[in-house]
């Protein structure tokens, strides 16, 4: 049985962008709140923003891309060949 593959459209792009912005705002608000509450030092805030925050955004992008249909299966892969120039 063949699966019907529908490519994501403009609504998916908009939802992805909105989801990434929302994830970033929530993460930054949490870091700000934890700093304000005294749970994070300034050094820890710097570590979180430089090391943890980008990893969190990659994870959020991965989850959103699968949820919105941007994921590709093994059958979607095809070999890439470079044309050889004549000597």
Q: Going residue by residue through the chain (87 aa), what tens digit of pLDDT does each one get?
A: 566 666 778 888 899 999 999 999 999 999 999 999 999 999 999 999 999 999 999 999 999 988 888 877 666 667 777 777 766
Return d(Cα 27, Cα 52) in angstroms, integer.
Answer: 10
pTM given for the model: 0.74
| Residue 56, Cβ density class (10 Å: 0-12 exposed, 13-18 middle, ≥19 buried) | middle
């Amino acid at each position: 049985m063949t699966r019907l593959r529908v490519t994501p459209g403009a609504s998916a792009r908009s939802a992805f962008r909105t989801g990434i912005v929302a994830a970033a705002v929530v993460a930054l608000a949490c870091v700000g709140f934890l700093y304000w509450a005294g749970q994070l030092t300034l050094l820890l805030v710097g570590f979180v923003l430089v090391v943890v925050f980008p990893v969190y955004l990659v994870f959020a992008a991965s989850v959103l891309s699968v949820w919105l249909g941007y994921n590709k299966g093994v059958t979607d892969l095809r070999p890439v060949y470079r044309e050889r120039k004549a000597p």
